[in-house]
Amino acid sequence: MTNEITTRSAAETIALGQTIGKTLTGNQVVALIGNLGTGKTHLIKGICAGLGIAEDELVTSPTFVLVNEYFTPDGRQIYHIDAYRLESPAEFEALGVADYIRPDSIVLVEWADRVLDALAPLKPITIGLAHAGGDRRTITMNNLP
């Protein structure tokens, strides 16, 4: 099933992420696709908030470290991966992503279009973000729970 929503601000994008986060239970991969400035990290901040990550915990894009790890109050792990600097799907697989996918974890991948070949067998929830003028973003979601 495909859903499309237009948000009008960063706050609305974060709020949408919270709604998505509340639906995630574990053993899931979320692939975020969009150009610079389309709100991928804002959406992930919201997803993390929806999963119970405290607002004061810093949720940032792991552009240089490649993977950030967060823990929910109920013990689940969230792996936040930024594939922007990766050269190939093989580099993505070399991060050990297959080991991150467990019933008690959720994997969030920014710049997922760079590693779609590696993600496809994992049957990810796919979220595309696009500029829609001003602060508006069009967000298209596939395979939501």
For the stretch 122-134, pLDDT in tens is 899 999 999 999 9
Of 74-83, 86-95, 105-114, 135-144, minimum mean pLDDT range: 86-95
The residue whose two tokens read 């930024």 is 82
The answer to whether the CB of 139 falls within 8 A of the CB of 16 is: yes
54-72 core/surface letters (b: 16 or more CB in 10 A; e: else):
eeeeebebbeeebebebeb
Of 12-16, 35-39, 95-99, 135-139, minimum mean pLDDT range: 95-99
The 10s digit of each residue's pLDDT in 66-91 is: 888 999 999 999 999 999 988 888 88
Token duo for residue 30: 């979320």
Computed over every residue of the chain, the mean pLDDT equals 91
Report the distance separating Cα 97 and Cα 117, nearest Å.
Answer: 13
Taking the CA atoms of 19, 21, 26 and 28 in sequence, report the sign of the dihedral they define: positive
| CATH superfamily of the 14-121 domain | P-loop containing nucleotide triphosphate hydrolases (3.40.50.300)
Report the distance separating Cα 11 and Cα 135, nearest Å.
Answer: 10
The distance of Cα 53 from the centroid of its chain, to the nearest Å, equals 14
Compute the radius of gyration of the chain from its Cα atoms. 14
Report the distance separating Cα 22 and Cα 38, nearest Å.
Answer: 22
Pairing of strands 28-33, 125-131: parallel
Sorted by where each begins, the domain ranges of the chain are 14-121
The answer to whether the CB of 110 falls within 8 A of the CB of 41 is: yes
Per-residue pLDDT, 56:
61
Asked if residue 107 has pLDDT above 90, the reply is: yes
What average pLDDT does range 20-30 have in this prediction? Answer: 95
The 10s digit of each residue's pLDDT in 43-71 is: 999 999 999 997 666 787 776 678 889 99
Count the alpha carbons within 13 Å of 125 in the hemisphere toward its beta carbon: 20
0.75 cut: is pTM over it? Answer: yes
